[in-house]
């Protein structure tokens, strides 16, 4: 991808300060970028690097002004938001790098499956009967798409992804390696003799448009109906989503979180790493939950911030931590005083 500063400014809606004809072909970090590369400055902690930056072009915010002299050969492009503009370029760069559309000779595609135009199907991929892969999607090596799976346009599945029978993934979704979508939910009914009988899981999983799912996640199919991840959700690595869970649109969940069956998470929620949810909860829109929190009760008030085990409002959690530290200090202080009295 080779672009001039003026071409990039037009693409990003920015203004050039410097040489409009300077060209870049790579993207780099502000600390180490060299001639022919573009980088960005969005965090003031990194501003010191721009004054001896070796890049040809740096994206900066429209209101940014240097506090010292810049390198003579450095061209700036001022945009509304530097990080967002750089993210747009990264996406464009990845699209340019994408493999040419082809189907590897070792892929196994059932004659009753459908693969759209401009798709890349990697080595060892299996696509079962009734599956539909829409155009411009990329399926990495050793992926498996079960019967009647629907994969939308412009999706990318990294190697080893499994999407099991009757599940649906919307358009422009990315699923990282070794994630399993549509595995059987954890359903067992206790018997009088203390053993368990398996409850059949006959539902499916629906993942809507523009979702990103990290590596090694397990998203279980519903017992009846659908486990649903609504549009725009972002899930990190190693997340367990149990049967019949619903995650509201544009919610973000960090690594190692576990969501038990039939819990409903609202829109625009932010959930930290290693959070645990018991089953059958309702979590209001805009809820923010700190890392390692244990959620065992419904959250009915939108935009609540929770932390702790059990989960409590953030201010109550902070007071609790202050009190706990004071209690520990007093314990050791009294213990030491007791030794002196002895």
pLDDT in tens, 236-254: 999 999 999 999 999 999 9
**Which strands, in side-by-side order, build the sheet including 162-163?**
108-109, 126-127, 144-145, 162-163, 180-183, 218-220, 240-241, 258-259, 276-277, 294-295
What pLDDT is recorded for position 98? 58
Q: What is the mean pLDDT of the chain?
A: 94
Strands 305-307 and 312-313, by their bridges, are antiparallel
**pLDDT bracket for residue 331 (50, 70, 90):** confident
Q: Taking a C-beta distance cutoff of 8 angstroms, is the pair 144, 121 a contact?
A: no
Give the pair of three-digit tokens for residue 318. Answer: 């902070």
The yes-or-no verdict on residue 153 having pLDDT over 70 is yes
- Which residue(s) pair with 133 in the sheet? 115, 151
CATH code assigned to 3-97: 3.40.1390.10
**pLDDT bracket for residue 325 (50, 70, 90):** confident
The yes-or-no verdict on residue 97 having pLDDT over 60 is no
**pLDDT bracket for residue 14 (50, 70, 90):** very high
Instruction: Kindly report, residue by residue over 267-292, the tens digit of the pLDDT.
Output: 999 999 999 999 999 999 999 999 99
243 tagged catalytic? yes
Per-residue pLDDT, averaged over 198-219, amounts to 98
What single DSSP character describes residue 180? E
The yes-or-no verdict on residue 96 having pLDDT over 60 is no
> Can you give the residue ranges of every domain in the chain?
3-97, 108-314
What single DSSP character describes residue 56? S
- Which listed residue (44, 120, 243, 280) is catalytic? 243
**pLDDT bracket for residue 342 (50, 70, 90):** low
Instruction: Kindly report, residue by residue over 63-74, the tens digit of the pLDDT.
Output: 999 999 999 999
Q: Taking a C-beta distance cutoff of 8 angstroms, is the pair 215, 177 a contact?
A: yes
- Which class for 334: exposed (0-12), middle (13-18), buried (19 or more C-beta within 10 A)? exposed
What pLDDT is recorded for position 59? 97
Per-residue pLDDT, averaged over 154-178, amounts to 97
Domain 108-314 fold is: UDP N-Acetylglucosamine Acyltransferase; domain 1 (2.160.10)
* Whether residue 310 has a cis bond before it, omega within 30° of 0: yes
What pLDDT is recorded for position 337? 74
Per-residue pLDDT, averaged over 121-125, amounts to 97
**pLDDT bracket for residue 32 (50, 70, 90):** very high
| CA distance to 49, 117, 150, 184, 314, per residue, from 204 (Å) | 50, 26, 12, 9, 36
Per-residue pLDDT, averaged over 255-265, amounts to 98
What pLDDT is recorded for position 87? 92
The yes-or-no verdict on residue 326 having pLDDT over 90 is no
pTM, two decimals, is: 0.75
């Amino acid at each position: 991808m080779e672009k001039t500063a003026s071409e990039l400014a037009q693409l990003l809606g920015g203004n050039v300060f410097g040489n409009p004809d300077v060209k870049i072909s790579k993207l780099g970090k502000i600390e180490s970028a060299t001639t022919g590369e573009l980088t960005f400055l969005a965090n003031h902690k990194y501003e010191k690097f721009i004054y001896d930056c070796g890049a040809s072009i740096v994206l900066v915010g429209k209101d940014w002004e240097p506090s010292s002299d810049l390198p003579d050969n450095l061209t700036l492009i001022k945009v509304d938001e530097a990080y967002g503009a750089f993210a747009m370029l990264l996406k464009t760069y990845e699209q340019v790098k994408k493999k040419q559309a082809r189907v590897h000779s070792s892929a196994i595609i059932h004659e009753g499956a459908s693969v759209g135009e401009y798709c890349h199907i990697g080595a060892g991929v299996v696509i079962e009967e009734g599956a539909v892969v829409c155009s411009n999607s990329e399926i990495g090596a050793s992926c498996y798409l079960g019967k009647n799976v629907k994969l939308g346009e412009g999706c990318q599945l990294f190697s080893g992804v499994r999407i099991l029978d009757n599940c649906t993934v919307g358009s422009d979704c990315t699923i990282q390696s070794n994630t399993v979508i549509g595995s059987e939910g954890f359903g067992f009914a206790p018997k009088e003799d203390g053993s368990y009988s398996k409850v059949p899981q006959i539902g499916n999983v629906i993942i809507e448009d523009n979702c990103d799912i990290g590596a090694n996640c397990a998203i279980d199919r519903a017992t009846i109906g659908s486990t649903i991840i609504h549009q725009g959700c972002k899930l990190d690595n190693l997340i367990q989503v149990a049967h019949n869970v619903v995650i509201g649109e544009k919610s973000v969940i960090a690594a190692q979180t576990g969501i038990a069956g039939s819990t409903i998470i609202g829109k625009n929620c932010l959930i930290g790493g290693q959070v645990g949810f018991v089953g059958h909860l309702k979590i209001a829109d805009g809820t923010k939950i700190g890392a390692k929190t244990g959620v065992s009760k419904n959250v009915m008030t939108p935009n609540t911030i929770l932390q702790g085990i059990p989960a409590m409002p953030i201010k109550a959690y902070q007071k609790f931590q202050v009190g706990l530290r004071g209690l520990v200090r007093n314990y050791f202080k009294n213990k030491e005083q007791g030794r002196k009295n002895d």
